[in-house]
Chain A
Amino acid sequence: MLDAFVLDIKIFAWSTPAIIALALLLAIARSSRNPALFPIRIFVIAYIDIMRGVPVILWIYLIGFGVPGVGLERPFNSPLLWGSVALVLTYGAYIAEVFRAGIDSVHESQRAASRSLGLSNSQTMRFVILPQAIRRVVPPLMNDLVSLQKDVALVSLIGPIEILRQAGIDKAKFANFTPYVAAAIVFLMITIPLTRTTDYLLARERKRTSATRVR
């Protein structure tokens, strides 16, 4: 069962950076103010609406079975690969909205200050807006990453042996529910330290940059 858990972790580990990158890209595109980028904004909004509007499991089926189904050669016909792609595409859309909320929460006066110093729009985004936006959305972001960590198990439904499936197999073999409980504990062993670490990092950052705390 631990082998299956390692597979979970692997899917999580390679999906997360791709998700964050895609989400940032989508959020920045959606928040851009250049009138010339209007078509891109429309495209991004449509993309996010569609990806968020359909259950993750359905995308995993559609992409995970659909794409290999067109007759790709190995290793590109692996449901595991396309299942991960489906996770990236859907979670990219969810998390893009988290980033966008963060970007919108940075006060307009910060943009004014930055532009008044001669920084361009993209420099302003990079140095002034995004660093503040990302700090603010870390807690909701962790929330989404924890649910991603759990949704990774969905990829198992289309093929690869992953912990939840292995637990099901073990349960069938031994006719008791202990494997499910064990699987739950293994998940918690990852998600709880992840959450606590973020809390700690945020508290440290607050302490470093702000005045004395109100009790």
Chain B
Amino acid sequence: MKLELRQVSKSFGSRTVLSGLDLQVQAGEVVSFIGSSGSGKTTLLRCVNLLEPIDGGEILLDGDEISKIGRDPNPIRRRIGIVFQSFNLFPHMSVQRNITLALTQVLGNSADEAHETAKSLLARFALVEKIDSYPDQLSGGQQQRVAIVRALAMNPEVLLLDEITSALDPELVGEVLDVVRELKGSGITMLIATHEMNFAQEISDRVCFLDAGRIAEQGQPQQIFANPSDERTKQFLRRVNF
């Protein structure tokens, strides 16, 4: 088991976001999370990356409990990349520096090595001519692709994609999803929070419907989208006109 969540709970003040969530993800599996706003998709991903400390339960990576209180999160975060809805590129750094910062400072790569890694990854996603640009000079789609490259450069075992197309113009969504399509099958484990139902259906090995801080229903995409058994899933899919 690559990643396992056992009875994970998380509240912000009096608002419970995750309440005893269980999840198991195999290595190389692509799992999508759907559900209405506030159902806990984003919080779930942020907890896995240890950006939010959990209140109860445990999170295991390769059988190793990473959610233990007092454990240094930095070595774990190197193994789990995250891409955010609002890109979160560093605006004062060039595309190259955005990508090489963690390579040199965290992994201890030389500047030359880091530059090569950045260049070859940017080339792979047709962004190499943007290497010296600054984030503000790029389109939203390009920024998000750079953000994906930045996460990939660390060579993570698990990649978390948090509604990565929600802040994009419709015509820019495709180029970002293409990147994710290319990643599937490279062996990387992906957890995707998304509002793009078509995309979730196409890319996922498994789809989880989140409701009230728990996985209400999960299964293969065809089953969830064509033949949902849970009443809440049915209602949600009707609401999003799927």
Q: Which residues of A contact B (CB under 8 A)?
A: 109-110, 112-120, 123, 127-128, 131-132, 135, 208-211
Among B92, B102, B137, contact of A117 (Cβ-Cβ < 8 Å): B102
Whether A112 contacts B84 by the Cβ 8 Å rule is yes
Report if A113-B90 is in contact (Cβ < 8 Å); known contacts: A118-B75, A118-B154, A119-B101: yes
Give the Cβ gap from B141 to chain A, nearest Cβ, in Å. 15
Which 10 pairs show the lowest CB-CB distances between chains A and B? Answer: A113-B88, A117-B102, A118-B78, A209-B134, A118-B106, A210-B136, A118-B77, A109-B88, A116-B82, A118-B74
Give the Cβ gap from B82 to chain A, nearest Cβ, in Å. 5
Which of chain B's residues have a CB closer than 8 A to the CB of A112? 46, 51, 84, 88
Show 9 residue pairs from A and B whose CB-CB distance is below 8 angstroms, ordered by the A residue.
A109-B84, A116-B82, A117-B154, A118-B74, A118-B78, A119-B101, A209-B136, A210-B137, A211-B136
Complex CA–CA separation, A112 to B75 (angstroms): 15
Q: Which residues of B contact A (CB under 8 A)?
A: 46, 49, 51, 73-75, 77-78, 81-82, 84, 86, 88-92, 101-102, 105-106, 134, 136-137, 150-151, 154
Complex CA–CA separation, A165 to B102 (angstroms): 54
Which of chain A's residues have a CB closer than 8 A to the CB of B137? 209-211
Whether B92 contacts A131 by the Cβ 8 Å rule is yes
Closest to B79 in A: A118
Which of chain A's residues have a CB closer than 8 A to the CB of B154? 117-118
For A110, A113, A114, A123, which residue has the most chain B Cβ atoms within 10 angstroms? Answer: A113
Which of chain B's residues have a CB closer than 8 A to the CB of A209? 91-92, 134, 136-137
Give the Cβ gap from B75 to chain A, nearest Cβ, in Å. 7
Whether A119 contacts B91 by the Cβ 8 Å rule is no
Report if A127-B91 is in contact (Cβ < 8 Å); known contacts: A115-B51, A211-B137: no
Which of chain B's residues have a CB closer than 8 A to the CB of A119? 74, 101-102, 105-106
Complex CA–CA separation, A109 to B151 (angstroms): 15
Closest to B99 in A: A117
Report if A113-B84 is in contact (Cβ < 8 Å); known contacts: A119-B102, A119-B106, A132-B91: yes
Which of chain B's residues have a CB closer than 8 A to the CB of A211? 136-137
Give the Cβ gap from B166 to chain A, nearest Cβ, in Å. 14
Give the Cβ gap from B189 to chain A, nearest Cβ, in Å. 16
| Known interface pairs A113-B89, A113-B90, A131-B92; 19 further A-B residue pairs with C-beta atoms within 8 A, sorted by A's residue number | A109-B84, A109-B86, A112-B88, A115-B73, A116-B49, A116-B77, A116-B82, A117-B77, A117-B106, A117-B154, A118-B74, A118-B102, A118-B106, A119-B102, A119-B105, A123-B106, A132-B90, A132-B91, A210-B134
Complex CA–CA separation, A76 to B144 (angstroms): 59
Complex CA–CA separation, A132 to B91 (angstroms): 8
Whether B136 contacts A128 by the Cβ 8 Å rule is no
Which of chain A's residues have a CB closer than 8 A to the CB of B84? 109, 112-113
Among B51, B105, B136, contact of A116 (Cβ-Cβ < 8 Å): B51
